[in-house]
Amino acid sequence: MDREKAGARCLCDLTVSIREGTVPAFTPPPLPSDDKRWKIVNGTMRKNGFARHALIETLHTVQSSFGYLDDEAIRFVARSLRVPLSQAYGVVTFYHYFSLKPPGKHTVTICAGTACYIKGADKLVAAAEKRLGIPQGQTTQDGKISLMTARCVGACSRAPVVLRDGEVMGEVTSGQVLEQLERWAVE
């Protein structure tokens, strides 16, 4: 990697320039590719003045633009915000909301909050796991369906709740979940 280009400098260089009062202005690294989505990501960072505390905000933008966070994205964000890569990776893995794997074409999210649990959400999860042959949190091998659980989407009054590609469905039965999975499977 070209260190100059990355904006990283050797410590003694930096000490000399600080002493001489000629600290070079920070230049953010170039965008990884022509993909327009990087411009959106860069926009979030610019809006926050490339400040370190914008890390989570920026990761949110990456995830909403690309669907997940890959190595390239984490490296780019870390370098742009001058955050150690270890710290950026630590943040990504700490928060459940961030995903390191691409989501399937469709996502079924079963809410596992308390109200949904009391109304039998565990049975929905078990039925979906059996049908898809994957544990929760994973995507089928053909990349068609991701099975996720959520910690509460706030629609507790209509428990058990399932999100069908983000759309809230209330008072769901196992039959309805299986029906939906069937429909996606034959698409």
Binding site for another protein (CB under 8 A): 52-57, 59-60, 83, 87, 90-91, 94-98, 112-119, 150-159, 161, 167-170
Residue 13 or 179 with smaller CB distance to another protein: 179
50 and 79 Cβ atoms separated by less than 8 Å: no
What burial class does residue 80 get, using C-beta atoms within 10 Å of its C-beta: 0-12 exposed, 13-18 middle, 19+ buried? buried
In the complex, least distance from residue 129 CB atom to another protein, rounded to whole angstroms: 16
Q: What is the DSSP letter of 110?
A: E
Quote the CA–CA distance of 141 and 103 in Å, as a whole number. Answer: 11
In the complex, least distance from residue 154 CB atom to another protein, rounded to whole angstroms: 4
Residue 61 or 140 with smaller CB distance to another protein: 61
Residue 88 or 181 with smaller CB distance to another protein: 88
In the complex, least distance from residue 158 CB atom to another protein, rounded to whole angstroms: 5
Beta strands in the chain (DSSP E): 106-111, 138-139, 145-150, 162-164, 167-169
Quote the CA–CA distance of 77 and 53 in Å, as a whole number. Answer: 12
Residue 123 or 144 with smaller CB distance to another protein: 123
In the complex, least distance from residue 142 CB atom to another protein, rounded to whole angstroms: 27
